[in-house]
Structure formats: C-alpha cells, structure tokens
Structure 1
C-alpha cells in the first residue's frame, strides 16, 4: 500500500478507473496491470514512445494523445468495446516506477488521482507526479495557472502535447543532437504562449 492512501473495505479485486475519452470510467483489474507492467515486451513498447529530456526535465510522450493532452497507451488489445487495454500513459509510467496504486479513480473528491507537478499533461516522468485527490489537484491547478504556466497554452493541453511531441519527432528524424531538439521544444512551447499587451 502506498503512503497516504486510505484503506478500502474488502474488495474482491483491486480495480482502477481509467478515463480515456469515455463518458464513464473503465475498470482495470490489478491482474491486468500486473500482466502489462511485468511484460518486457509491453514495457519496451511503452519506452519506445517516450523521449527522456536531460537534467530531470519532463519525459515527453510521443504516442497518441487524449483530448486532455495526456498520453494514451494501448497496453493490450482486449475484446469488446470498452478499450480496457488503453490506459493513460502517465499512469502506466508511475506504476512502472512505484507499483500498482489501489483503487485509483475519478468517482469522487476523495479518490486518489495522479497530479502532475510540472503542469504538462504530456509528461510521463514519474518524478513529476504525486498522488493526491481531485480536490487538491483542482485547487493546485487554479493556483498555478498564470501566463508563464503550461496551463495557459493557447492551443490547450492536447495542442501543447502534440506540438512538443511533433518537434521532438522532427528532430529525431533529422538526426539532430539533444541541444537542437531542446531548441525545437522551446520554440514549440513559445508558440503557445498567450499574447500580452505589456
């Protein structure tokens, strides 16, 4: 059990709720998470869709992106229309580093959620996330939203994530070094800053 997490009543199987473009959360049993996180092939596919920036900066998701700007990772193809095999990339990264989070969900203000401390939805660096609640996450979001924050990007969170990922992919395709790719990232970030009159 992770520190600070409430102990829930007896549950037949630990589940998490995963919102990926669905009006209703999707329950992902712990056994599925364990099978994905322990499978070297799945982990290698995940790692191939990330770009690790130097100096402990954000690790950028290069794969598909949800409307909220968070990465979407297809850990497995499962039968049925539920898309249970597609999970948030930042959740996969966090659990790969720290272990499975019991009863993670979006059903209430007291449920555990992952909070991005860097305010970049496309980040999958586990060191940039912490467990919190919906209430805490929303309060911090509102407090940190200012003109210099990634939260103020005029393209919205999905546009920001896609622009930064495209800049990185272009740099990698051109065989550029890390410094040149960082310059591309800075340009992609600057393109989304709101215009000011002062």
Structure 2
C-alpha cells in the first residue's frame, strides 16, 4: 500500500501542498482502494496514519491548508467535528445558504460568530 500510495502524490516542498493525483470524490478529496470489496479510503487519512499512527477515536483529520486534495502530513491535524465547523466559519468555507436556518440553540449551531455586517449567522430576518 505504501509504495502504491506515493505514486499518486505530487510531492513538492515540505511546506507546500502535496496533491493527490489519483481518484477523487465529488468534493476533491483523494480516494484509494485498500482492499478488494472494501470502500475506498480517504487519501489524506492514510497519509496521516502513515506518518503519525492511528487516528484517535472520536477525532477526525482536518486540513490546515484547506486543500481537500492535499496529503502532506504536515498540513493535517486531528480535531473534533466542532473544531472543523469552527475552522469552516473562520476560514469562510461555509455555504451561506446552509447558515440561514441556524439559530442559537439549534442542532449544529456552534456560535458561528459575526458576519461582516455584525450580525450572528442565522439571526437575520
């Protein structure tokens, strides 16, 4: 798996994104087959595990670079879903339409913070 994995990586400088050149899903995340009859694994998760070991239970892998095709382990870190949602808002990656239905106390609302007009997400009428 290790050798097969790296043949699909455009490996550049240590601080640059290493782009996955193999199969990708509809959102641009790399996929790699791990075994016959099994669902493909996410390439960035495999990269993280090869470098740092197993992903702790309850955590996911986040891209510091916000590039879904990146598999540079230096750009990957563990975090919670809440961390990932906070990153999404802070880095302006959210779909504005999906935020219109969020209200304080509603499922999925994480205190998204002020919009450019000073209002909180989901509080506009």
The TM-score normalised by the length of structure 1 is: 0.45
Q: 2: CA distance between counterparts of 1:100 and 1:59?
A: 21
Instruction: Determine the structure 1 residue equivalent to 2:22.
Output: 63
Q: Secondary structure at 1:130's aligned position in 2?
A: strand
Q: 2: CA distance between counterparts of 1:75 and 1:125?
A: 19
Deviations 1:94-150 (A, max 9, x none): 0000111243xxxxxxx31101000000000111011101111111111112xxxxx
Answer yes or no: is 1:93 the counterpart of 2:78: no
Gap runs ≥5 in structure 1:
1-41, 104-110, 146-150, 153-198
Give the alignment's Cα RMSD to 1 decimal: 1.6
Q: Secondary structure at 2:60's aligned position in 1?
A: strand
Q: Secondary structure at 1:131's aligned position in 2?
A: strand
Summarize the alignment of residues 6-85 of structure 1 with structure 2, pairs less than 5 Å apart: 42-78=1-37, 83-84=38-39
Q: 2: CA distance between counterparts of 1:77 and 1:113?
A: 25
Gap runs ≥5 in structure 2:
95-125
Change (3 A) 1:134 1:73: same
Instruction: Determine the structure 2 residue equivalent to 1:131.
Output: 78
The TM-score normalised by the length of structure 2 is: 0.69
